[in-house]
Structure 1
């Protein structure tokens, strides 16, 4: 089987780092800025950045409706930090016109851990990635305040003031993390997502 083609939404954030991580995971990684580029990929990564700005850029680049349509049709997606916020069905502490894509039945709180100066790192046990705990980098990160039916919790903060807060989830073919695995060199989250895209493509291919 050929490598899946996975796009990285290239409007803001760690685009290059996600491309490198996906390539290391065996995917054919490409940037996505136009509707026709979105239409050509098997899955999509929504990187970190500033979620309200990214929502505005989705409208400017005529990507908002096509992205919603592809998600509704079952396209696999992975969102890190701001990407998690965009994929949520409900967002707290944001503007009334904030974009949400309804890819995950979750409620997220923006900047839940505090400002940029409150960014931190910790080790997380992440379900489905296997191996040793994962070093997780949180930068003005959200957390998940509510998970709906069918949403699997993959990781929670182990200790400190935010102990127990949900920071990684999966629902069907949609994955999201509050943290930034693309900046640590640990490719396990991207490998998990690449496998999800492969499985989805296989199940969608006529026998």
Structure 2
């Protein structure tokens, strides 16, 4: 998410990004490594069942431009209401680690985005 963000808060002065998604993100917004947590999310576009998400030194989205589709926000006590998954055109970004669970729905969404962007 940090690498695809157009703007990063709390970054080192020499932090470079690829950009492409009209968002401002805050690095380590949920806290340091010891503040890692897990939460169930409802993610637009992958079905009604919650997605179990693992957050490790995770950023969150502080603002999103009009072309950005917000896919998920945290609903638990920790960071309630903060945006944690977005899409803009063919770019998809999450502040959690979908590779750390057995749920492949985010990966399938990514594959479908790639297929349709040809």
Per the normalisation by structure 1, the TM-score is 0.56
Unaligned runs of 5+ in 1: 1-83, 202-207
CA shift digits 1:149-201 (9 cap, x unpaired)? 10010000002141000000000100000001111010000100101111112
Whole-Å separation in 2 of the counterparts to 1:192 and 1:179 = 15
Aligned to 1:112: 29
CA RMSD of the aligned region, Å? 0.8
**How many Å apart are 1:131 and its aligned residue?**
3.6
Counterpart among 200, 204, 207 of residue 117 in structure 2: 200
Aligned to 1:103: 20
The structure that is strand-richer by fraction is 2
Aligned to 1:54: none
Aligned to 2:81: 164
Unaligned runs of 5+ in 2: none
The structure that is helix-richer by fraction is 1
Whole-Å separation in 2 of the counterparts to 1:102 and 1:182 = 22
Q: How does 1:55-74 map to 2 (within 5 A)?
A: none
Aligned to 2:96: 179
Aligned to 2:50: 133
Q: Secondary structure at the match of 2:117?
A: helix
CA shift digits 1:55-113 (9 cap, x unpaired)? xxxxxxxxxxxxxxxxxxxxxxxxxxxxx001000001111121111210000000000
Whole-Å separation in 2 of the counterparts to 1:141 and 1:150 = 23
Whole-Å separation in 1 of the counterparts to 2:88 and 2:11 = 23
Per the normalisation by structure 2, the TM-score is 0.97
**Between Structure 1 and Structure 2, how many residues are aligned?**
118
Whole-Å separation in 2 of the counterparts to 1:118 and 1:162 = 12
Structure showing greater radius of gyration is 1
